[in-house]
Amino acid sequence: MAESKHENMWHWQETGTAWKGIGIYHITLTIPTREPLLGTLQIPNNDPKQATIQRTELGNQLVECLLTVPSHHPAVRVVSFCLMPDHLHTVWHVVRPMETGIASVVRGFWQAAKKIGRLYSMSIAPNGIRDTEHRRQEDNEHRATDEYQFDPIFAEKPFIRPLSRRGQLHSIINYVRNNPQRLATKRLMPGFFCVQDGIEIAGRTYNGVGNIHLLQGKHFAPVHVRNMWVIDAEQHGNVQPLRDYMNACVLSARKGVVMVSPFISPKEKEVMHVLLKEKLPFIILSDNGFRDYYKPSDALFDAVASGLVLILSPLQHNPNKRHISRADCVALNSMAEEIASTI
């Protein structure tokens, strides 16, 4: 993982300028087969906090390629990056408007990465790169044809995420920085991070990630902060019902009750943050399923690793879903109450 000295020199996106002009972008380049061709995870003393990635030659070449981007596009700064065994995370800061958009710049980096990938594939192919180089010398016209016969390794288009809110920057840099630690944690404690299918509760089927043994608890209770309490507190100054309910949720958890909720509203999230801070167990319901190579969010990761959290979803993963609907909220809160009253 590396970070740029430009980290503190921020200019943020103006409204309507995503994908062009000044902005900050999180870019991920992945090997679709998930082969660990870029590096090897090292975990000294079996301590995830000490985890590092030992780069392969291909990994070194990819990083060198990444660091040349500013020389081709002076408006781009590579703020942070982390090479993992099968993918690369990087954060770019575009410091002034460019003639071309960020997608075009990323496409150029991707094409360069694919060229590196093909050369790697050529080097490990039968009769190897030496024969190919000999053919190049004989016939330049065949050079491109020979090269493009080989696997580019990075066949999947990079994912680009524009950052538009100030809080995202710190979060995404921490996310990039902590990738080796999260992978080490998953390797050392694989059970809690495997997607567990077919969990049946009250006639409904869920998939889950985390500590499934939380379902064997003796007592459960939902966390559902009613909107009328929030309105009463904010508009009429009557904070007592809201405060009493939130405090009661935490007190129940302290007594061993496993709290269950999608934790959607800001006040419900406040309750969840207290549970996390006090290392109290809970079950969270998700409005989307678990994609391949799923990892819990930074806020939940350590708690999942410690066996304090179970994430349940009744749905398969939808990669196009971006926002939770009101119908989803109502359904998930009903499921939380169903789980709490049935188990």
Among 171, 186, 201, the domain boundary falls at: 186
Strand partners, 40: 54
Same domain, yes or no, for 128 and 214?
no
Q: Given phi > 0 = left and psi -120 to 50 = alpha, else beta, which region is 2? A: beta
Q: What is the CATH number of the domain that holds 266?
A: 3.40.50.450
**Per-residue model confidence (pLDDT) at position 79:** 95
Q: Given phi > 0 = left and psi -120 to 50 = alpha, else beta, which region is 202? A: left
How many Cα atoms within 13 Å fall on the side-chain side of residue 82?
20
**Per-residue model confidence (pLDDT) at position 3:** 56
DSSP structure string for 243-285: HHHHHHHHHHHHTTPEEEE---SHHHHHHHHHHHHTT--EEEE
How many Cα atoms within 13 Å fall on the side-chain side of residue 183?
23
What whole-number distance in Å separates Cα of residue 108 and Cα of residue 85? Answer: 22
Same domain, yes or no, for 163 and 298?
no
For residues 23 and 98, the answer to whether their CB atoms sit within 8 Å is no
**Per-residue model confidence (pLDDT) at position 10:** 53
In order of 22, 68, 92, 237, 324, the CA distances from 74 in angstroms are 13, 10, 12, 53, 39
For residues 271 and 246, the answer to whether their CB atoms sit within 8 Å is yes
**Per-residue model confidence (pLDDT) at position 257:** 97
Is the confidence at residue 136, as pLDDT, over 60? Answer: no
Question: How confident is the prediction for the chain on average, in pLDDT?
Answer: 88
Same domain, yes or no, for 326 and 268?
yes
Q: Which residues contact 261 (CB under 8 A, 6 or more apart)?
A: 222, 223, 224, 268, 271, 272, 282, 283, 284, 285, 333, 336
Handedness of CA 30, 32, 38, 40 (dihedral sign): positive
DSSP-H helix ranges across 90-216? 102-124, 128-138, 141-148, 166-177, 179-188
Domain of 303, in residue numbers:
189-342
CB-based burial label for 261 (10 Å; 0-12, 13-18, 19+): buried
Same domain, yes or no, for 104 and 141?
yes
Among 144, 159, 186, the domain boundary falls at: 186
Same domain, yes or no, for 219 and 172?
no
Is the confidence at residue 83, as pLDDT, over 50? Answer: yes
Is the confidence at residue 328, as pLDDT, over 90? Answer: yes
What whole-number distance in Å separates Cα of residue 198 and Cα of residue 34? Answer: 26
Same domain, yes or no, for 329 and 230?
yes
Q: Is 62 helix (H, G, I), strand (E, B) or coil?
A: helix
What whole-number distance in Å separates Cα of residue 276 and Cα of residue 166? Answer: 24
pLDDT single digits (tens) 179-198: 999 999 889 888 899 999 99
**Per-residue model confidence (pLDDT) at position 18:** 57
Same domain, yes or no, for 88 and 176?
yes
For residues 163 and 24, the answer to whether their CB atoms sit within 8 Å is yes
**Per-residue model confidence (pLDDT) at position 14:** 58
Same domain, yes or no, for 9 and 152?
yes
Q: How confident is the model at residue 318 (pLDDT cuts 50, 70, 90)?
A: very high
What whole-number distance in Å separates Cα of residue 88 and Cα of residue 78? Answer: 13
Report field, pTM of the whole predicted structure over 0.75 = no
Strand partners, 39: 55
Read off the pLDDT of each residue in 258-264 and give the average, rounded to a whole number. Answer: 98
Quote the number of domains for the chain.
2
Same domain, yes or no, for 22 and 170?
yes
